[in-house]
Structure 1
Amino acid sequence: MAFPLPTPLSSLPPPTEPHTFRMLVTMHFHDTGTRTSDTQGTALLSDIPTHAMDCGTCPIHFHQPWAHQGLSPKQWGDLEQEIHLYLALISQRITVLVQEAGVGFTFVIQILLGCEILPNGTFHTFCQTARDRQDFVSYDLATGEWTVMPGDELAQRVYEYYSQDQGIASHLRFLLQDLCVSEAQSFAYYGKEVLKRQELLVAVVFAQQPPVAPELPLMLVCWVTGFYPQPIHVAWLQDGEEVPPGPGLSSSGLLPNADLTYQLRIVLAIDPSAGHHYACHVEHSSLGGHSLIMPWAWCRGLSRHWDVGLILGISISLLATAGLAAILLWRRHCESLSLP
């Protein structure tokens, strides 16, 4: 369900693109005599880390210089107190319920809450928890109701308590509807340059043959890395047509790099003797409206016993001369490796 945006903490224009602000909290419950929990937290705007917290009562750290803009030091202090109070209530109540249920300690509670703000003036919120990576309880701001994972005694006790405790629901409404939405709008405004950054990709095409089983299909690999933002389309073409999903096509999925860029690997199993032409097709916003096509078929005459049939790395410059030079070097490489 969508709601009108609450009045922001400052007068800011709405975001031009959807943005999601997520707050992730991990609570380690252990029996050390005092039966306390260790708490850490982090926050992200879309996929950009913005804040971190080392313990349930620690000050909030800012990962981005714009992550504290839009609020005065006093307002940030008030928000910290509200967050610390919410986490303390969660920790204390779960500890009591564990003792009542006789479940035993040494487990991890993970809390994910946040919101998505849209350019049309609406927002969506979410609040989910897990225990040891299993669904636990969740909260729906639109209905004000909790949902419980069936068959979990501790989850059932937490659900019953939260359903009756208006204080927890009040803190959640503040965190989700007031804090999250207003701050997400503020961060999207002050951090717009980071959110709109473009990182040019590097693409590599090569072929691999299993050395112990040369009778198996040849594996064509298209590896694209160093790109930002996330949205990208990578596909193998066979004779100019995109290869549809099937047992011979696999993908690594989107993977993060340490420098806040991404990588992706698409693998296609082929029979070189079939005589088809193959190329890797890449579409990404950093290419400035162009697409990249990297053909492999020029070297299809290589021996099937080569571990690497062809390797080509391209740092995209979008300059025609650079593209022509890469093609000439590629063609010469193929000619030097081709069988007589």
Structure 2
Amino acid sequence: PWSWGLLKTTVFHNASSRTMEGLALLRDLRTHAMDCSTCKIRFLQPWAHQGLTPKQWQGLETVLHDYLCVSLPGIHPFVLQASIGCELHPNGTSRQFCDAAVNGKDFISFSVDEGTWVARHRHKLALISRDFLNQDKSATAMAQFLLRTTCINELKSFVQYGKESLERQGEAGSPPPSGTPALVLLVCRVTSFYPRPVRVAWLQDGEEVAAGWRLNSSGILPNADLTYQLRSSLAVGPGDGHSYACRVQHSSLGGQSLLLPWGHSRPWGPGLAVGITLGALAIAAVVVVLWWRIRR
């Protein structure tokens, strides 16, 4: 199915301070982003403004801010994560979703069919939030309309206007060339780092591996404890004679790079995962072997 959705993370440091970031995706293609300080929508594709007028986009910014930047009393600091969007299936059916989590745990969701908010568990705060949101009938009706109608119309528009961009992305992320033997996947997982900026790269024989089908990254994702994580993987041929290393650059390293090698000194297994935990002042490195083989 085609899908378009917004992933939004807001970190509430205290009752008056928060940071926010949002990213909208058409399948895996980035279409929009939300400014951390102003909740303004930024268009990441030349066709990403299609389907709505400037005034309608401004109204959507307001709705997202009002719904997803509301603080919760008494639990600071906390992280609010939201996933909002819709899917369109080949048979013409559709599905809409609007789910929110607090500190990594399911919290509340919106039932499009019923037009009501539903608590995802029996926690008192979730029940209070559900009842509070359901009091505003005009707002729930607007949410229902945005998901049922606006989201689907936008999705159809983006599929039409963004077809060329999607095809180019498919070429960049294409599978291994025909005839490529079974591969080994090296995985470098960096987690618990703060602040957010980080750079992770793979080195082959000391040289950085260029972007291509061999590389894949999760992007920077939030943890429930206000830190971040990222996973980067590299597909290699088993016993290909090269040496490999994962290189991490982060402000907590004091200007240095953290290098975790994997080369001739270690026997080849079907796969390797390197787990790296970055603290604000210290670093711990852990190596774990994963038996993970990729086959064509």
TM-score range normalised by the length of the shorter chain:
0.5 to 0.7
Task: Give the corresponding residue for 2:58.
Answer: 80
Match of residue 84, structure 2, among 97, 108, 113 = 113
Task: Give the corresponding residue for 1:55.
Answer: 36
Contact 1:201/1:226, CA 8 A, preserved across alignment: no
Residues 1-340 of structure 1: matches in 2 within 5 Å? 18-31=1-14, 35-55=16-36, 57-71=38-52, 75-91=53-69, 94-95=70-71, 98-99=72-73, 103-196=74-167, 197-198=170-171, 199-201=174-176, 203=180, 205=182, 226-227=212-213, 255-256=216-217, 307=267
Q: Per-residue deviation at 1:188?
A: 0.5
CA deviations on 1:195-245 (whole Å, 9 max, x unpaired) are 2333352546579xxxxxxxxxxxxxxxxx9449xxxxxxxxxxxxxxxxx
- Normalised by the size of structure 1, how large is the TM-score? 0.50
Corresponding letter in the other structure for 1:68: H
How many residue pairs are counted as aligned between the two chains? 200
In the alignment, the residues of structure 1 paired with residue 156 and residue 183 of structure 2 have an alpha-carbon distance, to the nearest angstrom, of: 44
Give the secondary-structure state (helix, strand or coil) at the position aligned to 1:30: strand
Q: 1:160 to 1:306 in 2, by over 3 A?
A: closer
In the alignment, the residues of structure 1 paired with residue 235 and residue 136 of structure 2 have an alpha-carbon distance, to the nearest angstrom, of: 48
Q: 1:206 to 1:106 in 2, by over 3 A?
A: closer
**Long gaps (5+) in structure 2:** 185-210, 220-231, 239-264, 270-296
Task: Give the corresponding residue for 1:278.
Answer: none
Matched residues, percent identical? 33
CA deviations on 1:94-122 (whole Å, 9 max, x unpaired) are 43xx33xxx33210111111000123332
Larger radius of gyration between Structure 1 and Structure 2: 1
In the alignment, the residues of structure 1 paired with residue 33 and residue 12 of structure 2 have an alpha-carbon distance, to the nearest angstrom, of: 20
RMSD over aligned CA atoms reads 3.5
Corresponding letter in the other structure for 2:217: P
In the alignment, the residues of structure 1 paired with residue 237 and residue 102 of structure 2 have an alpha-carbon distance, to the nearest angstrom, of: 36
CA deviations on 1:75-98 (whole Å, 9 max, x unpaired) are 13322233323422443xx43xx3
Q: 1:176 to 1:206 in 2, by over 3 A?
A: closer
Task: Give the corresponding residue for 1:300.
Answer: none
Of Structure 1 and Structure 2, the greater helix share is in: 1
Contact 2:4/2:25, CA 8 A, preserved across alignment: yes
Task: Give the corresponding residue for 1:247.
Answer: none
In the alignment, the residues of structure 1 paired with residue 117 and residue 57 of structure 2 have an alpha-carbon distance, to the nearest angstrom, of: 24
Q: 1:205 to 1:143 in 2, by over 3 A?
A: same
Of Structure 1 and Structure 2, the greater strand share is in: 2
Q: Per-residue deviation at 1:124?
A: 0.8
Corresponding letter in the other structure for 2:176: L
Q: Per-residue deviation at 1:172?
A: 1.4
In the alignment, the residues of structure 2 paired with residue 89 and residue 176 of structure 1 have an alpha-carbon distance, to the nearest angstrom, of: 14
Give the secondary-structure state (helix, strand or coil) at the position aligned to 2:101: strand
In the alignment, the residues of structure 2 paired with residue 57 and residue 182 of structure 1 have an alpha-carbon distance, to the nearest angstrom, of: 26
Contact 1:22/1:114, CA 8 A, preserved across alignment: yes
In the alignment, the residues of structure 1 paired with residue 95 and residue 146 of structure 2 have an alpha-carbon distance, to the nearest angstrom, of: 13
Q: 1:66 to 1:204 in 2, by over 3 A?
A: farther
Corresponding letter in the other structure for 1:22: G
